[in-house]
Amino acid sequence: MSDVIKELKEKLNTIEKMPYFLDRVHVYLEETKDIFAEAIKAIKKIDKDLPSKREEIAQEYVSMSKFFWKEGQAPNAAVDLLLHGCDQFAEWQKQKRQYVSRSTLFSQLTAYYLHVFGDIGYATWWALHTVTESDGGDNTFITRLGYPQEVAEKLRENRSKLQGEIIVQKPRESFTEDIIRDFFINNTQYHYILGGNSDSNAFPICKPYYSLLLNDVTKDYKRNENHERGKALERLASYLFLLIPGCVPRQNVKDVDNTHETDLVILNRHPTSNLATELFGRHILVECKNWSESVGVPEVGYFLHNIHLMHGSFGVLFAREGISGSRNSKDEIEARQLIRRTFHENHTLCVVVTRNDLERLRDENITFRDLLIQLADEFRFGKTNPSKKPEESNMPHSVESDRVDRQASTPPKKSGKKSNVHQSS
């Protein structure tokens, strides 16, 4: 294994000595990713997978990210490389079914967003991941960001899930993302933590973790497992909404008279108005139907009625198999007409998220926020004519344009005096 690490360092040193670095940042970034991917692939084949060696690779990721930031003057490339490391380590954990720490990468991401970009919302997101995995993140989370120590302690109470036999039975529970999702579902008094201002449109999805959630949704359940079937889709939905900065979920919300229950109510706590608040409003009502058949007209009507009773303006119906039968069948058209009539009469907009949409989030570079915007636009204005292909752009490819296609849109670098980037302790 020492030979693998040695070869990794030698190849990375070669990248650092490449000529015309500023003019070819994107090319060198992709080459660097390939070098790391090859090294991790080689280590995966070794039976004795020592955590110390994984930490060496994480430190090399951090070192190279700083190189791209300082020498390449490309902070977006530095973040992109760290996100690549997070994805590689998460996939490593999913495949080997053993905990792989990403705390070193999380810590450096926190430092970049706090000190370089000045994005408190994004820095908080990564700080939450850091303190869940490591005691070393307390300094930034508590001292610099000003959040209560009890939050860090509560998150670490569940750290035992990151190790042990539980990963063999329920792999998703060993992921830091699952602990954070579960924490905010069960501790609504701390929702304000995710209300920090952020210039970014979305947090990056952890695809290995998301694929495990999606597997739980689509697998076959027995008749006596309907409760777990429904909870699987609610878990996935709540995670997706957490990826929209400022959005926090409440689960199984009942009205004061206990006459009806809503699977999820999403509150957008973003301190300023943005595209998400303008399109979706401050509250989003969510219904999850993880059924093996399509959702019928009565169920669609009931959900629309609940949105109206709560004076909501936007609702999301997660229906794994769609609504009312095959595409353009009589029942399906009737359901869509009901949704459209409600929109015209009450200005209540409801979009339907199906299994195909959920698989797109796994397989394509599209954020959940953008998916909702797309579905809402298609409902109101119709779909783009597929026969008319958009003209190809003649603009040169750059790291900045490449970042738009990433799962998270990184805010632009602030002007003025540069801050010293360092790995937070």
Residues 143 and 225 in one domain: no
Residues 181 and 261 in one domain: no
In a domain, 420, yes or no: no
In a domain, 423, yes or no: no
CB within 8 Å of 290: residues ≥ 6 apart: 217, 229, 230, 232, 233, 318, 320
Nearest alpha carbon to residue 123 among 324, 424, 375: 424
Residues 134 and 39 in one domain: yes
Nearest alpha carbon to residue 80 among 43, 26, 138, 18: 26
Residues 212 and 318 in one domain: yes
Domain range spanning residue 365? 200-385+402-411
Residues 173 and 243 in one domain: no
In a domain, 298, yes or no: yes
Helix axis angle, 355-363 to 207-218, nearest 10° = 160
Residues 8 and 134 in one domain: yes
Identify the band that residue 415 occupies on the pLDDT scale cut at 50, 70 and 90: very low
Tell me: the pLDDT tens digits for 300-343? 888 888 888 888 889 999 999 998 755 666 777 788 788 888 88
User: How many distinct structural domains can be found in the chain?
Assistant: 2
Reply yes or no on whether the pLDDT at 19 is more than 50: yes
Tell me: the pLDDT tens digits for 32-60? 999 999 999 888 877 555 677 889 999 99
Mean pLDDT of all residues belonging to the chain: 83
In a domain, 417, yes or no: no
Question: Between residues 190 and 255, which one has the greater pLDDT?
Answer: 190
Residues 323 and 245 in one domain: yes
Say which CATH number the domain at 309 has: 3.40.91
Residues 95 and 33 in one domain: yes
Tell me: the pLDDT tens digits for 368-398? 999 999 999 998 888 876 655 555 444 333 3
Tell me: the pLDDT tens digits for 115-129? 999 999 999 999 999
| Residue 167 confidence (pLDDT) | 54
Residues 265 and 176 in one domain: no
Among 176, 194, 212, residue at a domain's last position? 194
Residues 134 and 40 in one domain: yes
> Quick one: what percent of the chain has pLDDT higher than 70?
83
Nearest alpha carbon to residue 34 among 69, 79, 84: 84
- Whole-number Å distance between alpha carbons of 29 and 402: 11
| Residue 243 confidence (pLDDT) | 96
Identify the band that residue 7 occupies on the pLDDT scale cut at 50, 70 and 90: confident
Q: Quick check: helix, strand or coil at residue 30? A: helix
Residues 32 and 93 in one domain: yes
In a domain, 26, yes or no: yes
Among 170, 194, 218, residue at a domain's last position? 194
- Whole-number Å distance between alpha carbons of 186 and 168: 24
Among 151, 174, 194, residue at a domain's last position? 194
| Residue 422 confidence (pLDDT) | 42
Residues 274 and 150 in one domain: no
| Residue 99 confidence (pLDDT) | 84
In a domain, 416, yes or no: no
Question: Between residues 382 and 80, which one has the greater pLDDT?
Answer: 80
In a domain, 125, yes or no: yes
In a domain, 1, yes or no: yes
